Structure 1
Amino acid sequence: MAETDVFSESGSESGRGESRRAAGGNRLLAVARYEGGRKVRGSVALSVLLSLVTAMYVGLYPSITSSGVDLDAYIQSLPPAFQEAFGVETLTTIEGFLAVELYQFAWVLLLGVYFAYSAASLVADDVEHNRMDLLLSTPTPRGAVVVGKFLAMLVPILVVNAVVFTAVLVGTTLVDEPIATVDLLAAHALSVPYLLACSAIGLLLSVTLDRASIAQRGAIGVVFGLFLLETVTANTDFEWVGALAPTRYYDPTAILVNGEYGLVGAAVLLGATVLLVAVARAWFRRRDLA
């Protein structure tokens, strides 16, 4: 009889544990859905803005190439540091032109900074304005809040990539400069790990700082600072230091111009993202919100 009771209690505890995990998972998804829904409008606005920029670049390209200017000679006259920073290889093809003008600048630098900035307010804004206590009283585990809010960043990342991919594909076809669909798809797909890594940097700052504005400025500084670090240490004895920068692992020029996809770099970025989110989750579970 005693043995039966032991097994019964053990099974009951196991069942309760599974129920708690299931409830935690449901709350995580609920947080992700709610936060993701709040980001749809901003994601569409950002996508439209970038699509207009894309249309401008694609529309200008035929007139630039017909001008007779030796663009590659112009590239060679640029400082090596500039060529290294923005992955400038050629401007005489639509792939090389868009890689420099759209992807290396707007995607790698501006969007990287933007998503880090956006993620930096995910937790800090609720803490600063005393909304976090209300959310945690539902009750929702702290870990579910952090991970759910981070997963919501997939909404703007995926929406922007899908819309601009379509804009580039259609635009280049209309100006009779079709771009390789597979390479273009790879450039956008492989930007997802990069943008997630930038977002994870912002998330880590968001859980460690109480004021969203400070976390956002810190996120901008960290992502841009890492970009500069990789740029200034390139081709030097300190090049290994640049391995800390997410930009080291995503190169749209290599994808679009040379067809080199850099899957190892994508795996490194995903690993870094998981690590940063795990650290942010662990930190927030233990911090005092008083």
Structure 2
Amino acid sequence: MYKGKEPTLVILAAGLGTRFGGNKQIAVLPDFNCTIMELSIQDAFAAGVRHLVLVINRQVRPLIEQQILPRLPADLLVDLVEQAVDNLPSRFVSKAQSREKPWGTGHALLCAKPFIPGDAIVITADDYYGPDAFKQLVNHFAAAEQNDMAIVGYPLAQTLSSQGGVNRGICQTHKDSLLEVVEYLDIQQTGDTLSGLAPDGKRVALPEAALASMTCWGITQSLLTQLERGFCEFLESYDSDVKSEYYLPDCIQSCIQQGLIQVRVHSASERWFGITYKEELKSVSGLLYELRHG
């Protein structure tokens, strides 16, 4: 078990990537000869992180062990964790019999829980966050009080896609603290106007500087305790005919509303990049190379 003071980096990399047409988490960026998550690992390591928990699906384990792990820093402690459908509390194991897809991001983080000794930075494998995001979160935990979590939000205008409208969770804040993340659908830029569909279905204007949640969290042990409790409640009411998922943001929102945690909002100083479709791999790789190497 890792015993360092720095936060653990947890990367959620077990998603099936159906729109991408395969495991996009292990797709190699042509300009780097490495995956996008390896850039995040490099940036986190440079910020002081020395422990990585990688949540994967078991099909890609051999490839990760043979190709990706040898490229990582030698003094980075790595734990590989498989997000298996049947990785459930014993009384709920029967719920997995008719289940094929993973249980969602909340369950993925719970699979990593036994390997997380303290605070953690949680990201997804197919998103690029930039070096400063990790510096901000490491600095946050160095100064934070107990149960003081964090999120790095990205200016909405910098998270759009040339492929069409996008769905984004927009951070609603009060004095740098997160109140809630509100989901807006089909966000588009039309001329100088940015707009999206609000929860009531109406299209509303959105400020370009609004901060979008791109799954870049700083979490504490208290959240993991609540996550476990919430997942059991989810499974209690789970209907095997419904392929619903247990989402990390839903648990965080519930904890905020109950006053169990406070989430400090940090604004990203660098661009976010994401890969949804294979066609985007080459263009994103080129943009990242220019950004990181000038």
TM-score class normalised by the smaller sequence: under 0.3
> Of Structure 1 and Structure 2, which has the larger fraction of its residues in strand?
2
TM-score normalised by structure 1 residue count: 0.27
Q: Structure 2-normalised TM-score? A: 0.26
Greater helix fraction, Structure 1 or Structure 2: 1
